[in-house]
Structure 1
Amino acid sequence: MTQGIHGTVADGFEAVREEFATFVAGERPDYEGQLCAYVHGRKVVDLWAGDGCEADSLYGVFSSTKGAAHLVVALLIQDGTLEPDRKVTYYWPEFGAEGKAAVTLRELLSHRAGLVGLDAGFTRDELADDRAIAERLADQRPFWRPGTAFGYHALVIGALTGEVVRRATGRTLQEVYEERVRAPYGLDFHLGLPEELEPRFRSVQPMAPTPEQQAVLDSVPQGPHTLSSIAFNTHVPEPGELVDYANSRAVRASGPASAGGVASARGLAGMYAAAISELDERPPLLKPDTVAEVGQIHSTGYDLVARAHKSYGLGFQATADTWYPFLGAGAFGHSGAGGSQAFADPRAGLAYGYTRRRCAFPGGAAPENGRFVRVVHGAALA
């Protein structure tokens, strides 16, 4: 066992442990992180490092939460409960105000609705409450003509699609997720963390950017009412810090479906393994046609919010185009602002999850994921 590294890898995945150990050795002493992967439903990587970090430690995973939210939507589409090409107003009539009547569920899921935030912004209490977010957005005029462009609906997409789920099923997205995904597999990926699991939560810590990273941050246009500031709710008088969101008990308790999830790497990877593979003697949650549809690119090109090239599937990030071009076509998942990453590559049978305690820069999946994903994927193919 490499000093400071805990856990196991399957035969053929020794290089993953070596890569993880090399990275950890070069990090600051307070590094904490977990790495887990499945191949065809078999756990092949289960590693963690850092004082206080255990295999079942739980971390705020920010937008990796969107993967859980949209797995629920995928299941409901597969059931026939939701139809992606129906107008959102079929399920949620109030949504049609201010020029949004023609928006389809497919356009909403692929970040094409133009409803990235509110002119007036949200309060901190509202950001912990998906129902409140959805109610306020129903009366908001889109920031671009729906369907003509796309931009990341960072803090609101889970609330919007969650309201569609609630109207169609009579239950919250979080309740459907608990019943159909988390509980059957015992996954440590929670949309609403029970009080009794709080001792396992490791509070998210800030990290100062390097000069190179700060230059990237400084290059992003600033202003009180840019699309980016509205989408990330930084145009309000007291926006708070990124870490405040995950460290809020109110957020963890309610599990907002855009970014309020709490998970271990085991939980992240296990969810995607359940989605595409037989796991615990259960068939895959998603049928091949559904896997193909959610992984198919729906929006690609210039993201008006991120101001960069991005690609989205049906509610998920198109992981190969957005992050790791060596992955199989149709890989789907979602990263998180703190550095977490989680996805499935159906062609390789691979499910991947990574968490870390200190937030990464410049945002999204931590850079080290590129190293880990490449060696895990190579081992999986071998």
Structure 2
Amino acid sequence: MTDVHGTVEPGFESVREVFAAVAADEARDGGAQLAVHHRGRLVVDLWGGDGVDGDSLLALYSSSKGAMALVTALLVQDGVLDLDRTVASWWPEFAAEGKGGLTLRRLLAHRSGVIGVDGGFSLEELADDRRIAERLAPQRPFWEPGTGHGYHALVIGALVGEVILRATGRTTRELYEERVRAPYGIDYYLGLPEELEPRFRPALPLLPTPDEAAFLAANPIAPESLMGVAFDLNADPPLDNVEYGNAPAVRAKAPLSGGGVGTARGLSRMYATIAGELDGRPPLLGPGILAEFARIHSRGTDLVTGEDNAFGLGFVPLATRYPSLSPAAVGHSGAPGSQAFADPATGLAYSYARRRFGFMAGPGAAENDRLVQAVVEAAAKSA
């Protein structure tokens, strides 16, 4: 059985028990972390598994979309960005191939149709949002913009980041560092400093059971399908997700779609900045702007994944996945099965991180169902 380390505040002992059960699962080989803030306090700080402690920095993949959404919301709140202004009004080259009418709002809701490029990207290109944006500007959309939604897995960050750069002259990474990470001492990075490299623990590949391996063999993804394009399987060679997360260039350059690196403790603290007061300071986002970003803008069958899902603006409205959360809850998962969110209705901020990829774990590995429920119940009892 895997040893569980760390602390929980009184009232959250049940969360430790659930995490211990998760850590005892052989699929956790490689380690996992769990951190929860409640009303600005770190009430759960746990880890277990091979090679991971509470300070281990992990590749948290699409968690960076949550950081991107937070910076975007701050700029909308400041009046610097207008959600209903067209992307091309900031970025004229983007108007090519019938994309001129696409608004920032629809882009953030994964409705642009620009999910990838013909021929795919190289790993070197995927590490660099400016190069991604350069290739996306002339690209034809894969469906008529605004008519449906589909997960922009590897490109949403480059698209939104280019708008932010054109509007402000600053990169999203610079704004995140200046307004979010540095002021709050957050151990979650868009661009991992070289001196922190020794703390990084590489992502580990999926170890499928025989049944899972048989399912994967029987259900290959066609490279030219919408899913194949969105996940860069139309490239030569096709993208390897583990290689992507472990690539030094991805850690250093931090593509906003999937380059975030940090601890569960750090990502939970990032979400604590919008879940309520933190360190005596008010939440970064006012209730009106947070409600707008949490409001469901796309719902139904995802044209890329084929799943029934929902998107707010950049964030995922996570009450659609975890019914115990409030409609105000926003966050984003990461490819290996990690999950993170803020729920301002209860003052909760949550982050679960794992090293090894889980089977079909993209929207958040299944153990999050148990962990989130335990956290919500513990918080309600301690209120």
Confirm or deny a common fold (TM above 0.5): yes
Shift of 1:210: 2.3
| Corresponding residue for residue 81 of structure 2 | 82
Shift of 1:22: 1.8
Secondary structure (helix, strand or coil) at the match of 1:66 reads: helix
Aligned-partner residue type, residue 113 of structure 1: S
Secondary structure (helix, strand or coil) at the match of 1:370 reads: helix
Secondary structure (helix, strand or coil) at the match of 2:26 reads: coil
Worse-matched range after superposition: 151-160 or 54-63: 54-63
Do the aligned residues in 1 keep the contact of 2:204 with 2:357 (CA within 8 Å)? yes
Do the aligned residues in 2 keep the contact of 1:66 with 1:258 (CA within 8 Å)? yes
Secondary structure (helix, strand or coil) at the match of 1:352 reads: strand
Is residue 326 of structure 1 aligned with residue 329 of structure 2?
A: no
Q: Let me know the Cα RMSD of the aligned residues.
A: 1.5
Do the aligned residues in 2 keep the contact of 1:213 with 1:362 (CA within 8 Å)? no
Aligned-partner residue type, residue 328 of structure 2: G
Taking the aligned partners of 1:162 and 1:217, their CA distance within structure 2 comes to 34
Cα-to-partner distance string for 1:90-116 (whole Å, 9 max, x where unaligned): 211111111000000000000000000
Pairs within 5 Å for 1:41-60: 41-60=40-59
Shift of 1:50: 2.0
Cα-to-partner distance string for 1:68-90 (whole Å, 9 max, x where unaligned): 11110010011000010111112
The number of equivalent residue pairs is 380
Do the aligned residues in 2 keep the contact of 1:216 with 1:362 (CA within 8 Å)? no
Sort the Cα spacing of 1:220 and 1:347 in 2 relative to 1 into closer, same or farther, 3 A: farther
| Corresponding residue for residue 61 of structure 2 | 62
| Corresponding residue for residue 304 of structure 1 | 303
| Corresponding residue for residue 161 of structure 1 | 160
| Corresponding residue for residue 313 of structure 1 | 312
Do the aligned residues in 2 keep the contact of 1:276 with 1:291 (CA within 8 Å)? no
Taking the aligned partners of 1:27 and 1:147, their CA distance within structure 2 comes to 43
Do the aligned residues in 1 keep the contact of 2:7 with 2:44 (CA within 8 Å)? yes
Q: What fraction of aligned residue pairs are identical, expressed as a percent?
A: 58
Is residue 340 of structure 1 aligned with residue 338 of structure 2?
A: yes
| Corresponding residue for residue 129 of structure 1 | 128
- Provide structure 2 residue ranges, at least 5 long, that are not aligned to the other structure: none
Shift of 1:124: 1.1
Aligned-partner residue type, residue 173 of structure 1: T
| Corresponding residue for residue 39 of structure 1 | 38
Shift of 1:30: 3.3
Worse-matched range after superposition: 206-215 or 82-91: 206-215
| Corresponding residue for residue 191 of structure 1 | 190
TM-score by length of 1: 0.96
Do the aligned residues in 1 keep the contact of 2:27 with 2:358 (CA within 8 Å)? no
Taking the aligned partners of 1:336 and 1:3, their CA distance within structure 2 comes to 23
Secondary structure (helix, strand or coil) at the match of 1:355 reads: strand
Sort the Cα spacing of 1:244 and 1:96 in 2 relative to 1 into closer, same or farther, 3 A: same
Do the aligned residues in 2 keep the contact of 1:36 with 1:47 (CA within 8 Å)? yes
Aligned-partner residue type, residue 278 of structure 1: E
Pairs within 5 Å for 1:167-246: 167-214=166-213, 217=216, 222-246=221-245
Shift of 1:4: 1.2
Aligned-partner residue type, residue 315 of structure 1: G
Worse-matched range after superposition: 126-135 or 38-47: 38-47
| Corresponding residue for residue 27 of structure 1 | 26
Worse-matched range after superposition: 20-29 or 326-335: 20-29
- Provide structure 1 residue ranges, at least 5 long, that are not aligned to the other structure: none
Sort the Cα spacing of 1:216 and 1:306 in 2 relative to 1 into closer, same or farther, 3 A: farther
Cα-to-partner distance string for 1:250-275 (whole Å, 9 max, x where unaligned): 00000100001101001111001012
TM-score by length of 2: 0.96
Taking the aligned partners of 1:3 and 1:241, their CA distance within structure 2 comes to 29
Do the aligned residues in 1 keep the contact of 2:2 with 2:23 (CA within 8 Å)? no
| Corresponding residue for residue 10 of structure 1 | 9
Taking the aligned partners of 2:342 and 2:283, their CA distance within structure 1 comes to 12
Sort the Cα spacing of 1:128 and 1:280 in 2 relative to 1 into closer, same or farther, 3 A: same
Secondary structure (helix, strand or coil) at the match of 2:62 reads: helix
Secondary structure (helix, strand or coil) at the match of 2:36 reads: strand
